[in-house]
Amino acid sequence: MTRVFSGIKPTGHLTLGNYLGAMRQWATVDQHRADALFCVVDLHALTVDHDPARVRRLSRQSATLLLASGLDPDLCTLFVQSHVDEHARLSYVLECVATDGEMRRMIQYKEKAARERERGGSVRLSLLTYPVLMAADILAYGTAEVPVGDDQAQHVELARDLAVRFNHRYGQTFVVPKATLPPVAARVMNLQEPTAKMGKSDDSGPGIVYLLDEPDVVRKKIMRAVTDSGQDVVYDRESRPGVANLLEILAACSGADPEKLSGGYASYGALKKDTAEAVVELLRPVQERHRELCADSAYVEGVLRDGAEKARGMARPMVDAAYRAIGLLPPV
Ligand code: TYM
């Protein structure tokens, strides 16, 4: 069975972008067709200025929302990254295979480091090595496929490069993974700034639909979305990014094609209204299940405990093999 691994970082409240770009695919497709692991990657949340209590709270909330969005512990393994030591153990070894030039070329590093410096802060070393830890997450499980949104494709490419390089230098050890992207909504854009990704760590609340937003808040955000100059509804990401974003969101909610959908609308107002209702209906069952799960924190904890134990059992032989291959003396 194909091994699938993916993760989500507890740096903010989860968004419609996370859901359409990744989580929905995990729940409706991946866990049914593959031997799938999903991980709340809390170590990654420490790479930028963070509040310890908030990271803890968001880690629990992210795990709860993953279950609410349909992940089933009987079908997949759900766990928290820091509960499985193998991620950090393998990350160090992969740092000995990666180069600093490779790290500095990563788009997300360049953007986030620039943002930190603009704020007058310093850049944590872990922000630079972030993609190596992500490669360790993936390679520790013999992962073949990594279902992600478009913004993570470069990081998965690096994991591929490191796997190939390690295998070439030290002998066949890792499976070489590849990214899989959803057919639509691989990059949901900010409603107020449709040329920028809808990101959970951004500050611009009105442009971001959060999974736990009340229906009226969702409606308001979508009705106020920035659209483009012009009147007709056409699907063109380059010249009409605002309208294209709404068409993609609606298409992702309804299983339709954004181009075809555009023909059915004579005004932006009607498109916004239908998109808002489609998103409200999409989120309704997730929010209901989330409420139920919040009342049963023992269940969520049990899932994470069992998940970490299963994940440890899978990762340990792979990481031990990598340690042996690279020349570390096995413990006696
Ligand atoms: P993160 O937490 O930023 O996002 C989690 C998943 O959601 C997708 N996503 C989006 N998709 C479409 N439109 C958007 N606006 C949008 N925003 C986010 C992301 O592409 C991702 O699939 N580095 C990763 C976490 C990670 C990981 C891993 C992923 C760590 N280790 C190993 C896969 C495998 C991240 O920060 O995702």
Model confidence over 274-297: pLDDT tens digits? 999 999 999 999 999 999 999 999
Rounded Cα distance between 303 and 228, Å, is 45
| Placement of tokens 């299983």 in the chain | 255
In the chain, CATH 3.40.50.620 covers: 3-181+297-326
Question: Which helix (H) or strand (E) segment is 77 a member of?
Answer: strand 76-80
**Catalytic residue from among 178, 197, 221, 310:** 197
Q: Give 146 Cα–ligand 1 centroid separation in angstroms.
A: 10
Per residue in 204-246, pLDDT tens?
689 999 999 999 999 999 999 999 888 889 999 999 999 999 9
Is residue 153 within 8 Å of 21, Cβ to Cβ?
Answer: no
Half-sphere exposure of 310 (CA within 13 A, CB side): 19
Percent of the chain that is helix, strand, coil (3-state, to 5): 60, 10, 35
Residues of the chain with pLDDT under 50: none
CATH number of 205-291: 1.10.240.10
- Catalytic: 220? no
List, edge to edge, every strand of the sheet that includes 3-8: 76-80, 35-40, 3-8, 145-147, 178-180
**Catalytic residue from among 112, 178, 260, 272:** 112
Rounded Cα distance between 292 and 284, Å, is 13
ipTM of the complex: 0.99
Q: Give 81 Cα–ligand 1 centroid separation in angstroms.
A: 14
Atom of ligand 1 nearest to the CA of 9: 2
In the chain, CATH 1.10.240.10 covers: 205-291
| Placement of tokens 């959970």 in the chain | 200
- Catalytic: 310? no
Q: So what's the pLDDT on residue 204?
A: 66
Residue numbering of the annotated binding site for L-tryptophan = 137
Specify the pTM.
0.96
Q: So what's the pLDDT on residue 219?
A: 98
Question: By C-alpha distance, which of 294, 286, 276, 291 is closest to 24?
Answer: 286
Q: Domain 3-181+297-326, what fold?
A: Rossmann fold (3.40.50)
How many CB atoms neighbour CB 83 within 10 A? Answer: 17
Closest-CA residue, ligand 1 atom 22, reads 148
Q: So what's the pLDDT on residue 203?
A: 67
Q: Give 199 Cα–ligand 1 centroid separation in angstroms.
A: 9
Pocket around ligand 1: residues whose beta carbon is below 6 Å from it?
5-9, 17-18, 21-22, 41, 44, 134, 137-138, 146, 148-149, 151-152, 155, 186-188, 197-199
Q: So what's the pLDDT on residue 229?
A: 84
